[in-house]
Structure 1
Amino acid sequence: MFAVPHRHYRLSEAWKVAVMSMSPPAVAGLNLKKKVFSAGAWSIAGYFFNYAFRLGSNLLMTRLLLPEMFGIMAVAMVVITGLVLFSDVGLRPNVVRNERGDDRSFLNTAWVIQIVRGGILWLGALTIALIIAIANKVGLVPAGSVYADPVLPYVVCGLSLFPLIGGFESTKSLQAYRSLQLAKLTRLDIAAQVLSFLVTASWAITYPSIWALVAGTVAGVAVRAGLSHIWLPGHSNRLQWERSAFVEIIHFGKWIFLSTILFFVASNGDRLMLGAMIDPGSLGAYSIAFLIFTSVDQVLSKVIVDVSFPALSELIRESRSRFQKAYYRFHFAIASFSYFAAGSLLVSGSSIIAVLYDQRYQQAGWMLELLAIALMVQPYRLATQTFLALGLEKIYFYLHATRICVLFLALPIGFHVAGLEGAVCGVVLSYFASLPQIWKHARASDLLDLRKELLPLPAFLVGIGCGELFKLAVGALLAR
């Protein structure tokens, strides 16, 4: 009766000997691979859960609220998001890549910076709301545009609580990103999303107005900030100031600060400009198309920022050869999904809108099909994040500057030549503007292998085929 335990003992001892005989890099590689797969699984699962909630909420709201409300909310969120990005000093990438990323004094100093920043953003949002109201009153904004709506300044004031409350979020979330412990972060995001949905839906059902969207947004960030202190592992925060930590954060963050300003303008400049060119209803339809487009864009971005960036940062510190191999493993997976999504949405965008939304939103279909082309560029965001991990922050800045220049030229020219269709084509063109620079710097960093770049391309054709099948199925369904 002792035979089985004895055999188990011998196998356990053999396993210990095998592990101890492995070189440290090999053991570290196994641990990192396990963390990457676990973090990637949680990141993607959490994203799809949150997206399902977001889509469900959006579908419900489009039946309870008017398209004009989504246009107003889109511009107000752009204002708040712009303020947040305009003041970004790169706290997350700083903690992820810095050797002091787990140091209590360093984290407390980062928390103080975050709180002060939140207060400044709150005051900035109130100031912008006042400027919009005054400009509207004296007739400085185009009549009939989103900016002329008298509700917009009040919505901006309500959303100003977003950065103020978010500034108190614990730095435990930054530690979790650093160590690729995304399980609890994902659960935290889900809890915040569920409460946000419940607040929005309850408000919209009892009192249908744009304030349902505002209340849900603020409730979500409040829950996330509160749970970050009690739910996540790590150092508890207290008010502490260390000058050397502050200098280190600002030194790294100065290029991040400039880059995120440009990133905001590049990512949101389309809605800012279109808000002055088209009516709120058309902008609401564009916002719906952009929401579905960014649902794919964001899941890829989440994997790149939450998983690939921390993993590649760790490999850079340990082994450059392993880093280069890992880079193209990430690239193949991200590019395959991105190309497949681009192909499928390119031919089935109108069918998706026809199934999900009523007749008022159908023009979002052709917009989604055009925007889908821009997903072909998404895999190269991995390269830009890798430049950041390599300490090449200036490159990150110049890439966004190039995209902005093309956006602010191509969108108005496109609108002048071909109306709204031309404007959307200008938006898509801006995504491709920085590709030559990315290829140049990737080659200089030994990250450009043409054969490996081309390997995922067949996924685009597979996506087109699947999109056509979906389009036929929807056509047959609607024909009944």
Structure 2
Amino acid sequence: MSLTHKTTIGILWNFMDQLLRRGMASIVTLLLARLLLPEDFGLLAMVLVFLTIASAMMDSGLQQAILRLPTLGPRDASTAFFSNIGFGVVAYALLYFSAPLIADFYAEPRLVVLVRIGGLVVLINAFEVIQGAMLNRALDFRTRMKAGIPGSVISGSVAVLLGWLGFGVWALVGQMLTAAFVTTALMWWWGSWRPHLTFDMDAFKAMFSFGYKMFLSRMLDVVFVNLYVLVIAKLFAASVAGLFFFADRLKELVLNQLVAAIQNVTFPALASIQHDPVRLKDAYRRILQLMVYLLFPGVLLMAALARPLFEALFPDRWLDAVPYLQLMCIAAVMYPLSSLNLNVLKVKGRSDLFLGLEVIKKLLICGVLALTWQHGVIAILIGQIVVAVLSYIPNAWFSRTLIDYSIREQCVDFLPSLMLSSVIALCCWLAVEHLAASPDWSPWAALLGLGCLSGASYLLLSCLLRFPAWQSGVGLIRDRLSQRKVENLHAS
């Protein structure tokens, strides 16, 4: 099986996994929005800032180091596995003892026990990181899907039950812990890799020399991505932080589903051709075209339909989050472009440049946030859009240096999808505003009718305009059908 075919199959399996898991997450989010208050989501947002930092410390970049090694011996994987467990124990200990300080920072005493119980997810995930990396290296996303779907279903059921029983924020914490435990257990049940009782210090040093820069980069990213929640939770009420966090969670349901399905597969696949610049550039162009073709209409239509989405699905107490979601979706347009260019640095092993770029972008975030925080949440979100646009330029600069994929070439590849998506989303938003003024306004009719019409228009126009991603998808289906015919003929 060719690398292209194997990668495509991996993307499809991973996309299916993301689709089912995000679909389940959407249903659970819908139910929890009816059972919980914005304050409950605000409390979880405060906790997650520190849990995410601890998770980054637990991983320490070793997963990325495992994925990019051309050859991986059993001692390498075992060393990374036991290192992650050790880092996880240290990270949880820091969480446990710093819980009172976190509670004092927010002036919220309930956070002490929330941090200490919720932090157990770091220890659970320490057993999953390398097992998941081994599945990613093998592009075995079918097994990941088999482990992830039950975890989503069971944890979602636990969360809804706890919410219905009146446990408030503990429903969200229970969902997080249950998902981590079930997914990790099933991944070990179905995964074939097992660690050996060995630890190679030389292997650790080699992996950590690459991984620690990725760890520092991720730590910076985690801190500054969550800086918005931290600042909003500190300056405003927990309910405002909850609205912000809830809107961000809805955006992630679309963003992660589309981006993660491609990114999880392409990094280990492209790492295998990192020394062939011609193939690497061609592969990246195809991936960029596919990512923007899927993501741009998804996030922009979500922004256009945010109002009927909230009115149809959520109680009125969540309506103030509508403009938050719209601005977050606009900022998210740049995410696939920046993440793909950063992926080039990881594939080429330039974690030093990766770290340098993260420092530059974080300084940019600090500067913009310093100018906007006094003007409210909307101003902070507009600042996010500015940061997203400006961050793309240095991210893309090194792609030209490393694989000769210039900003101009990237613009040629992504602008058609961006322009078409923007025009359709703008028309959709104008239609929503016009219909909302009518006495016969029906959010369900607007959501389903305009959503289907906009999606169909995008597909039809992209076909007529011969977008490369559309043509590649059609070609893949034809190749697959031809292969099936050949297989059936041989079988008969």
TM-score, normalised to structure 1, is 0.86
| SS of alignment partner, residue 188 of structure 1 | helix
- Offset of 1:79 from its aligned partner? 0.9
Structure 1 pair 158–479 and aligned structure 2 pair: CA distance change class (3 A): closer
Asked if structure 2 preserves the Cα contact closer than 8 Å seen for 1:350 and 1:369, the reply is no
Asked if structure 1 preserves the Cα contact closer than 8 Å seen for 2:308 and 2:444, the reply is no
Q: For 2:96, give the aligned amino acid.
A: L
Q: Deviations over 1:232-251 (max 9, x none)?
A: 12x31243211221111211
Match of 2:257 among 284, 287, 299: 299
Q: For 2:118, give the aligned amino acid.
A: L
Q: Following the alignment from structure 1 to structure 2, what is the Cα–Cα distance between the partners of residues 187 and 477?
A: 39
Q: Following the alignment from structure 2 to structure 1, what is the Cα–Cα distance between the partners of residues 414 and 365?
A: 28
Q: Following the alignment from structure 1 to structure 2, what is the Cα–Cα distance between the partners of residues 259 and 51?
A: 27
- Offset of 1:478 from its aligned partner? 4.0
Asked if structure 2 preserves the Cα contact closer than 8 Å seen for 1:189 and 1:224, the reply is yes
Percentage identity across aligned positions?
22
Consecutive unaligned residues in structure 2, runs of 5 or more: 446-492
Match of 1:163 among 113, 122, 142: 122
Consecutive unaligned residues in structure 1, runs of 5 or more: 1-29, 136-140, 142-146
Q: For 1:251, give the aligned amino acid.
A: S
Residues 42-441 of structure 1 correspond to what in structure 2 (within 5 A)?
42-101=13-72, 103-133=73-103, 135=104, 141=105, 147-169=106-128, 171-233=130-192, 235-317=193-275, 319-378=276-335, 379-416=337-374, 418-441=375-398
Partner of 2:3: 32
Partner of 1:9: none
Match of 1:477 among 423, 426, 442: 442
- Offset of 1:77 from its aligned partner? 1.1
- Offset of 1:385 from its aligned partner? 0.7
- Offset of 1:224 from its aligned partner? 1.9
Asked if structure 2 preserves the Cα contact closer than 8 Å seen for 1:387 and 1:396, the reply is yes
Task: Show structure 1 runs of 4+ deviating over 3 A.
Answer: 464-476
- Offset of 1:380 from its aligned partner? 2.6
Asked if structure 2 preserves the Cα contact closer than 8 Å seen for 1:170 and 1:229, the reply is no
Q: Mean alpha-carbon deviation: is it higher for 108-117 or for 462-471?
A: 462-471
| SS of alignment partner, residue 236 of structure 2 | coil
Structure 1 pair 256–455 and aligned structure 2 pair: CA distance change class (3 A): closer
- Offset of 1:276 from its aligned partner? 0.9
Q: Following the alignment from structure 1 to structure 2, what is the Cα–Cα distance between the partners of residues 35 and 370?
A: 37
- Offset of 1:340 from its aligned partner? 2.1
Asked if structure 2 preserves the Cα contact closer than 8 Å seen for 1:407 and 1:429, the reply is no
Q: Following the alignment from structure 2 to structure 1, what is the Cα–Cα distance between the partners of residues 320 and 420?
A: 26
Q: Following the alignment from structure 2 to structure 1, what is the Cα–Cα distance between the partners of residues 4 and 221?
A: 31
- Offset of 1:70 from its aligned partner? 0.4
Asked if structure 2 preserves the Cα contact closer than 8 Å seen for 1:340 and 1:461, the reply is no
Asked if structure 2 preserves the Cα contact closer than 8 Å seen for 1:196 and 1:217, the reply is yes
TM-score, normalised to structure 2, is 0.84
Q: Which entry has the higher C-alpha Rg, 1 or 2?
A: 1
Q: Following the alignment from structure 1 to structure 2, what is the Cα–Cα distance between the partners of residues 82 and 171?
A: 18
Q: Following the alignment from structure 2 to structure 1, what is the Cα–Cα distance between the partners of residues 376 and 302?
A: 22
Partner of 2:464: none
Q: Following the alignment from structure 2 to structure 1, what is the Cα–Cα distance between the partners of residues 409 and 345?
A: 21
Q: For 1:31, give the aligned amino acid.
A: S
- Offset of 1:449 from its aligned partner? 5.7
